[in-house]
Amino acid sequence: MTQYLNQLNTADKLATEPWPEDATIYQPYEAEQILLPENASCLAVKAYLKMCNLPFGVRSCANAEHMSPGGRMTKLPFIRAGAFIFAEFEPIVNFVEQKDMAIGSWQDEDEKADMRTYVSLVENIFTMAELYISFKNERVYKEVTAPRNGVVFPWPLNHMQNYGKRRNALKLLKVYQWDDLDIESVIEKVAKCCETLEYKLKEIPDTPFFYGDQPCELDAIAFGHLFSILTTNLPNMALAQTVQKFKHLVEFCRFVDEKYFQTRFLPE
């Protein structure tokens, strides 16, 4: 009973407190450290908060992953908002929704349920594919993943960190039954996910977002993963080459980037 009352009090506090002006996203260093799956998750959160028009800062830390309270997949990013700390995309979205500041409030319950099915599909398929290419592909691991992940640690700690990180990634791939897949099977899963997303995007013609003229949770997480895949240079570009085949998704990424970020990393 006491635990239930504490949960109610926490929920009330979340709902009544205003959005803190000093809300901060914590992530690894972008230029030299962050990996593809982490970058996708961090970008999805940034896109979501920008779509909600909520102010936030970004703090890069060498040990951001170890500072995180944990999570289901990448543990990143995590956000400190007042007295609260949440990690990964979905818990952060839930936090914003409890404060009645979320995009997608215009959707009815059936549409929200439909939308969350797509969100789950995007997060699971793309995160697993990003982990696979980063940790199972030997050339990508040796030339990109290991050097970037270990760059902030001195020898021999960098090798220990890389060993632990790879072991955890391979364990996660095994849990989701991706560890025994070959690259062709991974690409096939990514292509089917992209096909599903493109079909959804074209369902309402002449609108920029998945559910019409206004963004929702799906727009943020799809952009985070698709844009990160398209703009990350790897020795094996199979994921990016697959996404590039879906022109509506590429145009969607270009639109969201220009509207909220203005990086212009995607050429016309």
Flag whether pLDDT at 144 surpasses 50.
yes
| Model pLDDT for residues 85-123, shown as the tens digit of each residue | 999 999 999 999 988 788 888 888 999 999 999 999 999
Domain boundary among 97, 131, 149: 97
**Is the residue at 267 inside a domain?**
no
Residues 148 and 250 in one domain: yes
| Model pLDDT for residues 233-260, shown as the tens digit of each residue | 999 999 999 999 999 999 999 999 999 9
Residues 133 and 154 in one domain: yes
Instruction: Residue 129: give its domain's CATH number.
Output: 1.20.1050.10
Domain boundary among 41, 75, 97: 97
| Model pLDDT for residues 156-204, shown as the tens digit of each residue | 999 999 999 999 999 999 999 999 999 999 999 999 999 999 999 999 9
- The confidence score (pLDDT) of residue 7 equals 35
Residues 6 and 87 in one domain: yes
Flag whether pLDDT at 11 surpasses 50.
no
Residues 69 and 120 in one domain: no
Number of domains the chain contains: 2
How far is Cα 44 from Cα 266, in angstroms, rounded to an integer?
Answer: 17
Query: Which domain does 204 fall in, by range?
Result: 109-261
Higher pLDDT: 188 or 14? It is: 188
Higher pLDDT: 138 or 265? It is: 138
| Model pLDDT for residues 205-239, shown as the tens digit of each residue | 999 999 999 999 999 999 999 999 999 999 999 99
Give the Å distances, CA to CA, from 173 to 122, 124, 140: 16, 11, 16
Average pLDDT over residues 11-22: 74
Domain boundary among 65, 97, 129: 97
Residues 159 and 253 in one domain: yes
CA-wise closest residue to 229 among 103, 141, 128:
128
**Is the residue at 268 inside a domain?**
no
**Is the residue at 93 inside a domain?**
yes
- The confidence score (pLDDT) of residue 172 equals 98
**Is the residue at 104 inside a domain?**
no
Residues 93 and 116 in one domain: no
| Model pLDDT for residues 46-77, shown as the tens digit of each residue | 999 999 999 999 999 999 999 999 889 999 99
Residues 83 and 126 in one domain: no
**Is the residue at 103 inside a domain?**
no
**Is the residue at 27 inside a domain?**
yes
